[in-house]
Structure 1
Amino acid sequence: MSFFKRKKQKQQPEAEEQQPVKKEHLLEQIDIYQNKLASSDQDDHVPLFNMLGSLYFELEDYDQAIHYYEQSIEQNKAMGKAFTDLVKLYNIKRKQASSENDRDGVQYYLQKSDELMKLTKDTIRGNM
């Protein structure tokens, strides 16, 4: 009976095969945005910092992502992706430090989270 025949499923490339392509694409995008950052006016840096933070976050280079998001917030304390991603990044780094029994690292990222929360509250209240 044809009713019980299995349909042929399309062959999906292995996730492992897609990973190098994705990483290569992210690195190309990072190069593009770093070049834009180098050639742009300081007024245009915030969106570039945010994009670089996002690309590094996706690449799982958390230290670089934090670096760019912190630069974004330093220039523009408006609520947005930089704030929300930094909360996630600080939690990731705190958990990593915890799993490595790095008490100083745990305390450092707890303090960074607290500072970000204070900045968030101040921004919402308009105390900036």
Structure 2
Amino acid sequence: MPFFKRNKKENNVKSEVQKEVKKEHLTEQIDNYLSKLEKNESEDPTHILNMLGSLYFEKEDYDNAIKYYEESIEQRKTLGKAFTDLVKLYNIKRKEASQEGDREKVQVYLQKSDDLMKLTKDTIRGNM
């Protein structure tokens, strides 16, 4: 066995430790932003909502990511990361529902995607 080759088991353990550290860091950041949101420490709450959506997305907590991105868009209908990430999140949730055989949920996320596309078009046209 060559010197530079690592054991797969050793690499998997290292990878798991790195993932755990990353999750802890994301949780700390989320707690920080939630605190700011509760205390109204920001002049722009949509920025905090977008950050929360982004952090939850990175943490793979899709339901909370959707919640905060949708709240952000309700407050300020501007195109950006919230819109693009919501499209991705709706597709993830639709795929999960499809794999579970939940046709009703598939329809819910298809409708949410359609509504978001309509909102995107309206925003571009200035029909808000």
Do both proteins adopt the same fold according to a TM-score greater than 0.5, normalized to the shorter chain?
yes
Counterpart residue number, 1:14? 14
Superposition misfits of 4+ residues, deviation over 3 angstroms: 6-13
* TM-score normalised by L of structure 1: 0.89
Aligned partner of 1:107 in structure 2 is 107
Query: Does the 8 Å CA contact 2:30/2:55 hold for their aligned counterparts?
Result: yes
* CA displacement at 1:44 relative to structure 2: 1.7
Q: In structure 2, what is the equivalent of residue 44 of structure 1? A: 44
Q: Which amino acid aligns with 1:23?
A: K
- TM-superposed CA distance for 1:40, in Å, is 1.4
CA distance in 2 between counterparts of 1:42 and 1:102 reads 40
RMSD value, Cα: 1.8
Q: What residue is the counterpart of 2:120 in the other structure?
A: 120
Instruction: Tell me if the contact between 2:53 and 2:64 (Cα under 8 Å) persists in the aligned partners.
Output: yes
| Bigger radius of gyration | 1
1:36-63 per-position Cα deviation (integer Å, ceiling 9, x unaligned):
1111168521000000000000000000
Note the C-alpha offset of 1:7.
7.5
Q: Name stretches of at least 5 consecutive residues in structure 1 with no aligned partner.
A: 1-5
Summarize deviations over 1:9-52 as a string: whole Å, max 9, x none: 79967211111111100000000000011111685210000000
Q: Distance in 1 between matches of 2:52 and 2:78?
A: 17
Give me the identity figure in percent.
Answer: 66
Distance in 2 of aligned mates of 1:64 and 1:56: 6
Q: Deviations over 1:65-84 (max 9, x none)?
A: 00000000000000000000
Number of residue pairs the alignment of both structures matches: 123
Q: Secondary structure at the match of 1:123?
A: helix
